Structure 1
Amino acid sequence: MGAEEPPVPVPVLSPLPLLLAAATAALLGYYWARVPRRPLLAAGPRLRAFLEQRCPAVGETFYPTPWCFEGRLQTVLGALLWARPPVSYRSEAIRAPDGGQLILDWAEDADSNWHPDPRACPTVLLIPGLTGSSQAAYLLRLVHRASRAGYRSVVLNHRGCWGEELLGGEDRTPRTFCASNTEDLEMAIAHIKRRYPQAPLLAVGVSLGGMQVLNYLGRRGWAAGLAAAMALCPSWDPDASAASLEQPLNDLLFNQRLAASLRCLISRHRAAIGEKVDVEHVLQARTIREFDERYTAQAFGYRSCREYYQAASPVRWLHRVRVPVLCLNASDDPFSPLHAIPVEAARHLPHVALLVTAHGGHLGFLEGLCPRPGSYMERLFAQFISAVFEHREELQ
């Protein structure tokens, strides 16, 4: 008998590729079944009709990037993925009545010089978010969009965030900024309108800047001096926002990092604010709520952080808004929880429109399988400012 042949080895298939394929199929199935949604638009009938006709994005299904549609991922990657478009600024310093200094950065772009009468060229005033300035990536992209559309852009920098020294009068302590204080915004608008009295002006606030714009509109009513306004990812209830950011993962990803940025701001200006504020106590704050309790409330004359949050909430002013304003929020924004967004109130207000997407995070709004240049937020911004400037007679 011949020698027996050795058995042929049976290949063992690794379960990992099968598991990955199953997980991918499950994720895609969930995505297509649950994720793409048309945004919720809450507005009075006339403003709603204007937006539906002139801003196609409000009625489009939003397809967030399938591999990062969750709100926190959208927030983080939205801040990291996009390149910073080149924008040149010309800075202008304005002295405030309290002795402080405001820095306006005017975008210098050839695309905005085509207007037949530069004095009447529509102007977009942008207000950054917390600790933001004209150099923030999200703001550079908005300025770039406005310039490409042929409009003039100017950024109001928050005090102390541009790199300048905080200044104050002889008997006044220098201050920074907060969501409830709209004095700097009011001064900037008045200055721009004096400089370009024939040019329509539109204000766009981002995050905390959006809160300032909404509070300004409510306080000024018919005298706001704006053709329209926009608030991108504003916080409607600062107390609810602080509670959301204090959740463990949000605290690690966002709260502690923002508190660190605020501490750096205070540390940089300790010589200017140290006389009436316990800087060392402020520098021990580890959350935004602690910072607001130790610095913001005290610096702006509130008895407590809770009182400041009540004063800063834009909801209390909405019924007094008399300028058309479009507000964009995402349901999964870790900075502004859905239950705090005043959707029902907006349905009965003639000058306020609330657009709420199912996903998008905070200033994320990435869309497409491979996120394409320009987010949903940027497209909406470009459509809205063009609609207002080109068809503003329909809003009057």
Structure 2
Amino acid sequence: ILSPSRKHSLHISYYLFFQRPALVCSEAFGTFLYKHCPVVVEHFRPTPWCWGGRLQTLANAFLKSRPTINYRNELIRTVDGGQISLDWVDNHSSTAYPESSTRPTVLFLPGLTGNSRQPYVLHAIRQAAIRGFRCVVFHYRGFGEEELLTPVTYCAASTSDLEYAVQHVKRLFPNSPLLGAGVSMGGIILLNYLANKQADSGLEAGFTISVPWDVQKSCDSMEEPLNMLLFNRHLARGLCETVNRHRDVLQKVVDVDYVIKARSIREFDERFTTHLFGYESCAEYYRDASPAFKLHNTTVPILCLNAADDPFSPQHAFPLDMVKQLSNVALLVTAYGGHIAFMQGLFPRREGYMEHLFGQFVQAVFEHPEDLKEACSIKEVLINS
């Protein structure tokens, strides 16, 4: 099972061909996952009429149901005069954890233009809530329903707002274990935060879905003609609409009319993000934002799920060599699944592979913390099916 470095790509391709996810992690971490997250060794067979990554991504966006989740909104002020919007699911009816002060909490970070109403967020929150956990969704400045108070939004490399939110949650519930879960760009921010804060992150563990590991390579993939047509322009439009919505505040620092003419994510970052956060170029920003170059600085257990056919996160950018050297990180790669999709069954409207994996891992972290801590302290690495 233990594979030399030169054979890792061959083994990955072999497992993906037979549709069993490839798990790259230490032997001890793998043993923990096999025991407490059995979905990692199950064959993942995508919806039979929806095999390709692009089709999975598109179909999921239109077909996924939206379970009813009742949030309690909280606005917290930051030291620079801004505000962050948090949507809470307190779960006071939890029978597994009736005591609020010690009820485990999941902090969820949505994707690039996402919020707490996205189907993938709602289903993940449901998975955590039915297990008795408290949940809170972190919104990026200006991308919830709150007013933007200062001319600052967010970028994938900036973790100060997330740090402030984590500190706020820990002040409210100092005896409650906290897990961070991030999707796509939310995963980038979470991993960068864990790398920056290391043992002082305040989190017991991390979980990511469809993370673009190298932002430059992700951007290149998104600029392929079909991906540009299907995804890139749509996301850029959403970013521009948000800037235009907060025109009165942002026009103090950028030419809003110029920014909203951007037709791709890279153009938007060139005209807005790099300027707002002091980068000299997009290349510099993308390098700083890429978690693949910082993963070795993380210390808490992290489980990452990626699909080999994700148009947003190309497989050749997966940090396999780095993960091989880490005892605290597991990378689970499926052959199919697209971007934040992983749909199964003929009528894939409800929870699928990623939600089941998320629910099992969150429960394992909170119910077996000592086993997990011990598992992530051993440095033998393998690729398993």
How does the TM-score come out when normalised to structure 2? 0.91
Q: How much does 1:373 deviate?
A: 2.4
2:179 corresponds to which of 193, 198, 202? 202
Conserved 8 A contact 2:236-2:265: yes
Q: Measure, in 2, the Cα distance between the counterparts of 1:354 and 1:298.
A: 33
Q: Measure, in 2, the Cα distance between the counterparts of 1:276 and 1:371.
A: 44
Conserved 8 A contact 2:63-2:349: no
What secondary structure does 1:307 align onto? helix
Which ranges in structure 1 are unaligned for 5 or more consecutive residues?
1-32, 169-173
Conserved 8 A contact 1:233-1:329: yes
Q: Measure, in 2, the Cα distance between the counterparts of 1:210 and 1:76.
A: 20
Amino acid of the structure 2 residue aligned with 1:63: R
Q: Measure, in 2, the Cα distance between the counterparts of 1:291 and 1:73.
A: 25
Which residue pairs with 1:18 in the alignment?
Answer: none
CA-to-aligned-CA distance 1:19-73 (integer Å, 9 cap, x gap)? xxxxxxxxxxxxxx98651111111222122112111111111011111011001
1:236 corresponds to which of 188, 213, 225? 213
- Tell me, yes or no, if structure 1 residue 158 matches structure 2 residue 140: yes
Q: Measure, in 2, the Cα distance between the counterparts of 1:243 and 1:112.
A: 45
Distance 1:111 1:248, change over 3 A: farther
Which residue pairs with 2:128 in the alignment?
Answer: 146
CA-to-aligned-CA distance 1:303-328 (integer Å, 9 cap, x gap)? 11111001000012111110000011
Conserved 8 A contact 1:39-1:59: yes
Q: How much does 1:114 deviate?
A: 4.7
Amino acid of the structure 2 residue aligned with 1:71: G
CA-to-aligned-CA distance 1:176-229 (integer Å, 9 cap, x gap)? 111100011101111111111111000001110000010001111111111111
Distance 1:87 1:234, change over 3 A: same
2:158 corresponds to which of 181, 191, 204? 181
1:362 corresponds to which of 329, 339, 342? 339
Which residue pairs with 1:329 in the alignment?
Answer: 306
Which residue pairs with 1:81 in the alignment?
Answer: 63
Q: How much does 1:163 deviate?
A: 1.9
- After TM superposition, the structure 1 stretch with the greater mean CA deviation from structure 2, 334-343 or 130-139, is 130-139
How does the TM-score come out when normalised to structure 1? 0.88
Conserved 8 A contact 1:88-1:108: no
Q: Measure, in 2, the Cα distance between the counterparts of 1:362 and 1:91.
A: 28
Which ranges in structure 2 are unaligned for 5 or more consecutive residues?
1-14, 374-385
Distance 1:389 1:165, change over 3 A: same
Q: Measure, in 2, the Cα distance between the counterparts of 1:347 and 1:358.
A: 19
Conserved 8 A contact 2:92-2:98: no
CA-to-aligned-CA distance 1:351-380 (integer Å, 9 cap, x gap)? 111111000000110112333621100000
- Tell me, yes or no, if structure 1 residue 126 matches structure 2 residue 82: no
- Tell me, yes or no, if structure 1 residue 226 matches structure 2 residue 226: no
Which residue pairs with 1:245 in the alignment?
Answer: 222
2:290 corresponds to which of 304, 313, 336? 313
Stretches of 4+ moved more than 2 A in 1? 33-36, 108-114, 368-373
Aligned residue runs from structure 1 range 292-307, under 5 A? 292-307=269-284
CA-to-aligned-CA distance 1:63-97 (integer Å, 9 cap, x gap)? 11111011001101111112100001111111111
Conserved 8 A contact 2:16-2:334: no
Distance 1:361 1:221, change over 3 A: same
Amino acid of the structure 1 residue aligned with 2:112: L
Which residue pairs with 2:238 in the alignment?
Answer: 261
1:58 corresponds to which of 19, 23, 40? 40
Q: Measure, in 2, the Cα distance between the counterparts of 1:304 and 1:269.
A: 24
Distance 1:81 1:36, change over 3 A: farther
Q: Measure, in 2, the Cα distance between the counterparts of 1:330 and 1:109.
A: 32
Which residue pairs with 1:91 in the alignment?
Answer: 73
Distance 1:121 1:109, change over 3 A: closer
Task: Report the RMSD for the aligned CA atoms in angstroms.
Answer: 1.5
Q: How much does 1:167 deviate?
A: 1.1
Higher relative contact order (CA 8 A, sep 6+): 2
Conserved 8 A contact 1:71-1:361: yes
Q: Measure, in 2, the Cα distance between the counterparts of 1:231 and 1:237.
A: 15
Question: Number of paired residues?
Answer: 359
Aligned sequence identity (%): 50
Q: Measure, in 2, the Cα distance between the counterparts of 1:149 and 1:208.
A: 26
Amino acid of the structure 2 residue aligned with 1:161: F
What secondary structure does 2:71 align onto? strand
- Tell me, yes or no, if structure 1 residue 345 matches structure 2 residue 327: no
Q: Measure, in 1, the Cα distance between the counterparts of 2:124 and 2:111.
A: 13
Conserved 8 A contact 1:217-1:322: yes
Which residue pairs with 2:82 in the alignment?
Answer: 100
Conserved 8 A contact 2:71-2:89: yes
Which residue pairs with 1:286 in the alignment?
Answer: 263
Amino acid of the structure 2 residue aligned with 1:210: G
Q: How much does 1:253 deviate?
A: 0.6
